[in-house]
């Protein structure tokens, strides 16, 4: 790959005497959740434990994921690389016979920590093995030493990820969740974004989602108490973030802020002063930042940047990329510089809401489609339900935080449009964005076979899903033949 430089290998630490001086590194990675914690200004929830991390740590108020869907976001996170640069940009790819391998010089973050004498673990609050979901081949038996740090040797530092299901619980609030809410959020306690109509299905879903935010806080509190009990907290650097935004219509899978902008906190009171920093950062920056705090060399090929220390270098812009999600073929790129967001839709003749079995199964989706079909939506609400989309979108976030007023056709903003367009085109070339080349039909069919087989096994739990996916696959192939 033309942008990768030779790897400067980190030598394994032969004895623990050096590693003992290094801090533990712990990542909280929450699924399907936007910036809706109390410290973000969400008044309907109580999140004292996450607020503590925010109040005592460094809050990055403009943090973005490089991909607004889990597997691609996690593939980037665990390598410190854009998923588009390592060929891991299609959601749930490399699951079938056709495989994706990391470039030879790219190592995962757990491998780098393990070589340095760290105990590596990936688990959950419940003590189970944690989610990986990487879109490339890796050895699940050797990448992590365990689900948590219980079996590490005495004084050995650990690199841990605590995976929290978060917004995944929105559609099924369990008894445990219900019993551990500070004050249950109800309809009327919150204000919806203006692009969502306040129909029952949307309000009920949003209330349930905000309750999962409170449950995440409860789970974070359990881990913090464990660290305190084991006298590990003072020597632990904590990064708190989500893998992408909430799984709603304009959220997950899209490059709008609801799907791409995430909470991001670095907590290390013994090492850094509490602050709120407004510069643009990417979620992959947690990789280099963690290596920095551990005193480990940051590989020169890595696109992640440390946010602290002498090597810290502010980003001029951030890029979010969406490609195929399950059976649904798409390519969207979003870039933010300053207060402007530019979005390029590479399939403008297709609707935003292409057929997608996963998203169409959401309880709010059909009621919203019916509401649109009945002509009841206002202009703002109807934007994403349009049968086609503009090739380019431009938003001034200082005046339009909801990304509703597209300025791409406004002559007064032509210079800014050209600037942002050129900036994105430059990034595509500089980072070797592999989305420029369509996914081969062989690779697509390989992954779709696994997806269909899974849905066939779940046909009793999810009736009709198998047939819907088959139909959607046919639609994707037909549109490709038509050049649409």
The answer to whether 70 is a known catalytic residue is: yes
pLDDT of residue 173: 63
Rounded average pLDDT over 118-135: 96
pLDDT digits (tens, 9 = 90+) for 224-233: 999 999 999 9
Find the DSSP H helices in 352-440.
357-360, 365-373, 379-382, 414-430
Return the domain boundaries, the chain: 19-450
Burial 3-31 (b: 16+ CB within 10 A, else e): ebeeeeebeeeeeeeebeebbbbbbbbbb
Tokens for 392? 């380019």
- The count of other CB atoms within 10 Å of the CB of residue 42 is 18
Distance CA 243, CA 72 (A): 9
Q: What is the pTM of this model?
A: 0.94
Strands 58-64 and 275-282, sheet pairing:
parallel
* pLDDT over 90 at 19, yes or no: no
- The count of other CB atoms within 10 Å of the CB of residue 198 is 12
Distance CA 216, CA 166 (A): 6
* pLDDT over 60 at 2, yes or no: no
If pLDDT is split at 50, 70 and 90, which confidence band does 174 have?
low
Which of 3.40.720.10, 1.10.1740.10, 1.10.630.10, 3.40.630.30 would CATH assign to domain 19-450?
3.40.720.10
DSSP bridge pairs for 242: 30
* pLDDT over 50 at 346, yes or no: yes
* pLDDT over 80 at 319, yes or no: yes
pLDDT of residue 53: 98
Of 70, 121, 255, 356, the active-site residue reads: 70
pLDDT digits (tens, 9 = 90+) for 413-466: 999 999 999 999 999 999 999 999 999 999 999 999 999 999 999 999 999 999
pLDDT of residue 323: 98
Count Cβ atoms within 10 A of the Cβ of residue 268 and give its class: 0-12 exposed, 13-18 middle, 19 or more buried: buried
Mean pLDDT estimate for the chain: 94
Distance CA 324, CA 55 (A): 38
Burial 169-192 (b: 16+ CB within 10 A, else e): bbeebeeebeebbeeebeeeebee
Sequence-distant (6+) residues with CB within 8 A of 24 are 149, 157, 158, 159, 160, 232, 235, 236, 237
Q: Which of 103-112, 152-161, 172-181, 324-333 has the lowest mean pLDDT?
A: 172-181
Cα–chain center distance at 19: 30
pLDDT of residue 37: 98
* pLDDT over 80 at 89, yes or no: yes
Place of tokens 């292409």: 354
Rounded average pLDDT over 110-133: 96
Distance CA 400, CA 422 (A): 22
pLDDT of residue 153: 95
């Amino acid at each position: 790959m033309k942008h990768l430089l030779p790897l400067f290998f980190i030598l394994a630490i032969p004895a623990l005497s050096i590693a003992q001086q290094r801090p533990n590194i712990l990542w909280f990675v929450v699924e399907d959740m936007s910036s809706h914690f109390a410290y973000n200004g969400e008044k309907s929830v109580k999140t004292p434990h996450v607020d503590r991390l925010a109040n005592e740590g460094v809050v990055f108020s403009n943090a973005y994921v490089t991909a607004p869907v889990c597997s691609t976001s996690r593939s980037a996170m665990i390598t410190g690389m854009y998923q588009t640069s390592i060929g891991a940009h299609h959601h749930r790819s490399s699951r079938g016979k056709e495989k994706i391998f990391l470039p030879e010089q790219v190592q995962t973050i757990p491998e780098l920590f393990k070589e340095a004498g760290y105990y590596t673990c990936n688990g959950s609050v419940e003590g189970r093995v944690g989610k990986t979901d990487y879109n490339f081949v890796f050895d699940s038996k050797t990448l992590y030493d365990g689900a948590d740090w219980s079996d590490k040797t005495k004084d050995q530092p650990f690199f841990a990820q605590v995976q929290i299901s978060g917004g995944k619980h929105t559609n099924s609030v369990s008894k445990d969740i219900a019993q551990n809410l500070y004050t249950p959020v109800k309809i009327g306690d919150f204000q919806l974004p203006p692009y969502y109509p306040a129909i029952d299905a949307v309000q009920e879903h949003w209330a349930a989602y905000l309750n999962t935010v409170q449950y995440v806080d409860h789970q974070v509190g359990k881990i913090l108490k464990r660290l305190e009990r084991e006298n590990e907290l003072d020597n632990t650097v904590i990064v708190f973030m989500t893998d992408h935004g909430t799984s709603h219509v304009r959220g997950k899978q899209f490059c709008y802020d609801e799907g791409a902008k995430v909470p991001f906190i670095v907590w290390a009171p013994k090492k850094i002063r509490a602050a709120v920093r407004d510069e643009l950062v990417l979620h992959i920056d947690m990789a280099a930042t963690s290596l920095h705090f551990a005193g480990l060399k940051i590989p020169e090929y890595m696109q992640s940047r440390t946010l602290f220390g002498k090597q810290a270098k502010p980003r001029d812009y951030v890029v979010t990329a969406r490609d195929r999600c399950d059976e649904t073929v798409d390519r969207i790129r979003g870039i933010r510089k300053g207060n402007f967001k530019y979005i390029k839709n590479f399939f403008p003749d297709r609707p935003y809401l292409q057929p997608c079995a996963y998203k169409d199964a959401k309880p709010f989706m059909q009621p919203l489609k019916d509401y649109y079909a009945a002509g009841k939506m206002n202009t703002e609400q109807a934007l994403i339900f349009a049968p086609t989309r503009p090739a380019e979108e431009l938003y001034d976030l200082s005046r339009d935080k909801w990304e509703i007023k597209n300025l791409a056709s406004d002559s007064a903003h032509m210079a800014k449009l050209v600037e942002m367009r050129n900036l994105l085109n430059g990034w595509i070339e500089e980072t070797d964005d592999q989305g420029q080349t369509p996914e081969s039909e062989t690779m697509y069919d390989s992954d779709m076979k696994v997806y269909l087989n899974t849905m066939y096994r779940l046909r009793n739990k999810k009736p009709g899903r198998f047939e819907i996916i088959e139909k959607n696959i046919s639609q994707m192939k037909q549109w490709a033949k038509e050049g649409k």
